[in-house]
Structure 1
Amino acid sequence: MPEGHTVHRLAAAFERGFGGQRVATSSPQGRFSDAAALEGMVLLGAEAVGKHLFLQLAPSADVDPGSPVVRHVHIHLGLYGSWTFAGDPGFAEAHAIGAPRLRVGETEESLATDEAVGTAHWRRLVPRPTVRLRIAGPCGLADLTGPATCEVLDAPGRQAVLDRLGPDPLRPDPDGTGRRRFVDRVRRSRTAIGVQLMNQQVIAGIGNIYRAEALFRARLDPFVPGVDLSRPLLEDLWEDLVALLAYGARTGRIVTTEPEHRDLEARIIERSRGTRQNGDGDADVVPREKSFYVYHRQSLPCRLCGAAVRSQDLAARAVFWCPACQRVRSRRASWTREHPAAAWALTP
């Protein structure tokens, strides 16, 4: 399932590719009946909140975003959802965001402009029959397949979704309200911090990779109850997540290791599909076997202490941790980090 930084990248891609433009909407699969009602509307903007994407559509570009005529296409990709893009050069930075890494169309297609006929090749791409929603504008198109949620909401419906979510570390938080909400919610519960980080009502946008890696960077035992954790510790955990997700939103990749640790025990235990990230084929990016401290490194030596990394099911998801490094278990434990998030965030 895509984590929060991916959805923020999606929102930015829609803003760049379709913002202020009149779009054509269709549902080749036929399971999104509202597509016809949205046909010809203008995309006013795109918003990411945790793992939820909202596309704001209105009859014209001069409509106030708060107007009752604005419709919000609410999308949650879930485990299998994906957006694929095709268009003019520069239309989309990545051809696919989400679970499947296929391009638009039945097969892998070239997205180059067909200069012989002077027509962009993407305009002739036939959608796969599994496409739930196609959005097309003057410069490109985007196809949605396999989402957990694809629905049209009015303003109260959008707000109802937001009211169910915890604070998103990637959304502006100038007065610290989001951080306080997170800290207060965690400290009120006896639920393990490793469970709470995956609860979208506690903090929005955190998935299994960020959960495992942030807890390791905090040297924090994933099984410690929230009530046993100090406010300063949780505030620092929040700030580290802000830095980690900001890096992910900027680069499209989850990289949590410090540069000096990346060549230490540079291994990962791949699943059948592997832990795929954007840009895996680019020689200049940090390879995935160097990107994580504990995620998918069960039974391998910890990069820092050499102890065997462990994994165990926790609330139906595997949690990964180092039993030697992650010993913080109480509000009285001293908590330090050798590599502050602020400095790490500047590392490419």
Structure 2
Amino acid sequence: MGIPTEPIGSMPRPPELLAGLADHAAGRLDRAGLDALHDQAVQDTIARFEALGSPVVTDGEQRKPSFATYPVDGLDHLAPDGVVIPFADGHVRQLPRLTGGPFRYATRSARYLRAAQRHASVPVKQAVIAASALSLLYPADGLPGYDRSAFLDDLVDEAEADIRGSLDAGAHRVQLDFTEGRLSLKLDPSRGVLDSFVALNNRVLDRFTPAERSRIGVHTCPGGDQDSTHSADVDYAELLPRLFALNAGVFYVQLASEPHPDRVLRVIAEHVRPQQRVFVGVTDPIDPVVETPEQVRDRVLRAAEYLPPDRLGTCDDCGFAPFGDDVSTSRETAWAKVRARIEGTALAAAQLGV
């Protein structure tokens, strides 16, 4: 049976694609030329995953402008001055701000999935952004003729359609990126924002059957961008009990970069529900040092002290380049970490006899 292992999503873009994106922005490369570079990057990403023996692959998010904003890429009623997300090293990311309704996705995840499936010979998973993250697009002072309640109704409809489209297209699993969960505790230590995020995401998840929810996962981490995080200083134990209140079947939990993994594992074991599987992070995309397979093995064996092997999986802590312009980690370093994750997980499975 073994222990399943999956990537989270993004991989660093190859230099040719990064140059093409710059050329396209400057008007030196047309859309057809850029699409060709995107397709080459996806094909290369999947081929390299498969060459390393990855049982599940992603497209590395080579086509996404960012993991968070792909649904609104091309939407016209947006302004650039939305919510600011500060990172520990001082840099920021800023979300767009909605300027009118009704809210509709301009791009759906199934588009990326189908393009990846053309190149894959193993199952493909698809990452999507959680509805809670997109709820931050709505301005704090409201919109005339389009109140927040109407916006959230539209958002839930669109998020459901995005997930369902990838499930129907044959995704091995659809993963909701929920990095704003831990960040919400920095914004509101009373947990009111976090509880509202969980409730909103459950409005979406409750529209799926138990069988469908077994193919839907949730990823949590303290953010990862340009070798920095936005909420690693927030106590993980404040998030995790509410995380497992989400009605998903699978959870991908950043763990390799945690200073006290046993404490985190105890909280997970206490709060995870019987029907839920936990993929623990065993490689840290922010750390430039490449883990050895033996280090990964030992991290899996530690997790197996708290979770039975049939409820355990492994993953990277987060994506390696969730924003399209993040070049802080080289593509080769990322592949070396993926190799360590795959080989180390296999070593642990053999030692556990599964």
TM-score normalised to the size of structure 1?
A: 0.30
Question: Which structure dedicates a bigger proportion of its chain to strand?
Answer: 1
Mark the structure with the bigger radius of gyration. 1
More helix by share: 2
TM-score (norm 2): 0.29
